[in-house]
Structure 1
């Protein structure tokens, strides 16, 4: 059994911060679960281009507000407590922070190693060690 507390991640190498978001990677590839599990905070009034070409992601919004816009069709979806969205087709999108910090819980498949950040195309790299 694996038991972790998100507080154990704060201030470690698995708490990744950019200008737009802060991600606490709690369960990782090394934990052997087949997915990774994260708490992420999207900062207010930010916009992040994301296109997970190598990962599927499900996101559960816990608090705050924001918006996601799919680039292929321009559809916009309001984000707030209780909203769940799944990027089941590697959907390229904009993730926007609203007036308040948006706190979300994320699951990635395949799992992240814990060090990933988006490249200039919004992509997390493919895990070469799993090949």
Structure 2
């Protein structure tokens, strides 16, 4: 049994600042579950172009509002909304006022991966 709280990982290697937000890695590859779970926060006023070539990701909004844009179509994200881009699909995640997401990754994250907002092209891992 694994019991882990967000408070227990704050300030550790599993508390990742990815530039336009934070990602608290609650479950990672070393936990040997076959998937990872993160508690992610998107900072207000940010927009990040993303693409995950090595992972499938599903994100469920639990707080705040934002949007995800893919192929020129923008979808509103609010509490109770899930979005799950295809592997390798470029998408732009944004939030005017801040947004909190619970995310699942398969295969699991190691735990220390981070985005590089502002690089040429999408950021991902």
User: Partners of 1:83 and 1:90 in 2: how far apart?
Assistant: 21
Distance 1:87 1:2 in 2: 28
Q: Which residue of 1 aligns with 2:123?
A: 122
Return the offset for 1:6.
Answer: 1.3
Give deviations 1:4-23, integer Å, cap 9, x for gaps. Answer: 11111111111011331111
Hey, what's the Cα distance between the residues in 2 that align with 1:88 and 1:98? Answer: 24
Please give the alpha-carbon distance, in whole angstroms, between the structure 1 residues aligned to 2:124 and 2:13.
20
Pairwise CA distance, 1:91? 1.8
The runs of 4+ residues in structure 1 deviating greater than 6 Å are: none
Q: Does 1:33 align with 2:33?
A: yes
Q: 2:78 — aligned with what?
A: 80
Offset at residue 88 of structure 1 (A) = 3.0
Where in structure 1 are there 5+ consecutive unaligned residues?
Answer: 125-131
Distance 2:101 2:39 in 1: 6
Q: Which position in structure 1 is the counterpart of 2:13?
A: 13
Count of matched residue pairs: 121
Structure 2 counterpart SS, 1:87: coil
Aligned counterpart for 1:104 among listed residues 93, 101, 108: 101
Alignment-derived partner of residue 56 in structure 1: 56
Distance in structure 2 (CA, Å) of the matches to 1:115 and 1:19: 13
Distance in 1, matches of 2:104 and 2:61, equals: 12
Partner secondary structure for residue 19 of structure 2 = coil
- Over the aligned positions, Cα root-mean-square deviation in angstroms equals 1.2
TM-score, structure 2 normalization: 0.91
The 1-side partners of 2:19 and 2:114 are apart by 11
Deviates more, 1:5-14 or 1:115-124: 115-124
Is 2:63–2:79's contact at 8 Å kept on the other side of the alignment? yes
